[in-house]
Amino acid sequence: MMRTVLFGPPGAGKGTQAARLAERFGIPAISTGDIFRANVGQGTALGLEAKEYMDAGLLVPDSVTNAMVRDRLTWADAAEGFLLDGYPRNPDQARELESMLDDAGVSLDVVLEITADVDEVTRRLLSRAEIEGRADDTEPVIRRRLEVYAESTAPLADFYRERGLLVQVDGIGEIDEVTSRLVEAISDSSA
Ligand code: ADP
């Protein structure tokens, strides 16, 4: 049973690591980016609303994102734990998450930050763009996503450090190596 948040710059490999950790700890990985992309793909009202922001590399408005996560966390699979990938993405969302969990009488166990330098993540994103063809993996949009990360999301490190929850993990290296570092960080934090 573990309630955790994973954050890190676009291209740091969050999605890959989130799936591995979720499997390992038997909890669902909840990726707000994946949920938004599924809604865009299905042409739902939520997808239509999110798409313009995603395509521009901007955050979807907090009101929309918070409501979506609040609902997702009520699903039965999240009752015993979860790994949030891509949420919260700014301190306001982090405060909102705190209040959602407070309402449910639970709290986060650990927050994992995957660190990677800008040149490395830019390179990764541009090469992924060729493989996956994600609409927001073009150079100007990648640049914007990195700016939004630095401005809005990076302050989460201080937010969670103040609460004694932050663990930083180096995201540079082989995928398996980074997974091992994360698993170790989780084990240390619960020791
Ligand atoms: P990446 O980390 O590579 O940018 P994600 O799949 O996590 O990719 O997110 C893709 C896009 O989805 C973001 O650029 C943003 O538009 C939207 N999004 C995802 N999570 C959030 C969130 N918590 N708040 C606002 N927008 C979000």
47 within some domain: no
94 within some domain: yes
Per-residue model confidence (pLDDT) at position 47? 97
Per-residue model confidence (pLDDT) at position 134? 83
Any idea what the Cα angle at residue 131 is, between residues 125 and 132, rounded to 5°? 80
Q: Which residues lie closer than 8 Å to 189 by C-beta, 6 or more apart?
A: 109, 110, 167
160 within some domain: yes
Is 14 one of the annotated active-site residues of the chain? Answer: yes
Q: Which residues lie closer than 8 Å to 37 by C-beta, 6 or more apart?
A: 54
Q: Which residues lie closer than 8 Å to 43 by C-beta, 6 or more apart?
A: none
Whole-angstrom distance, CA of residue 169 vs CA of residue 173? 11
Atom in ligand 1 nearest the alpha carbon of residue 57: 14
Whole-angstrom distance, CA of residue 109 vs CA of residue 29? 15
User: Which letter, b or e, does each residue of 108-138 get, where b requires 16 or more Cβ atoms within 10 Å of its Cβ?
Assistant: bebbbbbebeeeebbebbeeebeeeeeebbe
The alpha carbon of 112 and the centre of ligand 1 are apart by a number of angstroms equal to: 17
122 lines ligand 1 (CB under 6 A): no
95 within some domain: yes
Per-residue model confidence (pLDDT) at position 87? 98
Whole-angstrom distance, CA of residue 6 vs CA of residue 167? 10
35 within some domain: no
In testing the pocket of ligand 1, which one of 14, 39, 55, 89 has its CB within 8 Å of the most ligand atoms?
Answer: 89
Domain span holding position 138: 2-30+82-190
Please state the φ and ψ torsions of residue 36, each to the nearest 5 degrees: -60, -45
pLDDT per position in the chain (191 positions), as tens? 899 999 999 989 999 999 999 999 999 999 999 999 999 999 999 999 999 999 999 999 999 999 999 999 999 999 999 999 999 999 999 999 999 999 999 999 999 999 999 888 988 888 888 888 788 988 899 999 999 999 999 999 999 999 999 999 999 999 999 999 999 999 888 77
CATH number of the domain enclosing 168: 3.40.50.300
Per-residue model confidence (pLDDT) at position 126? 87
Number of structural domains the chain divides into: 1
40 lines ligand 1 (CB under 6 A): no
Is 51 one of the annotated active-site residues of the chain? Answer: no
Whether the CA torsion 60, 15, 25, 108 is positive or negative: it is negative
163 within some domain: yes
List, in sequence order, every beta strand (DSSP E) within the chain: 3-7, 29-31, 82-85, 110-115, 166-170
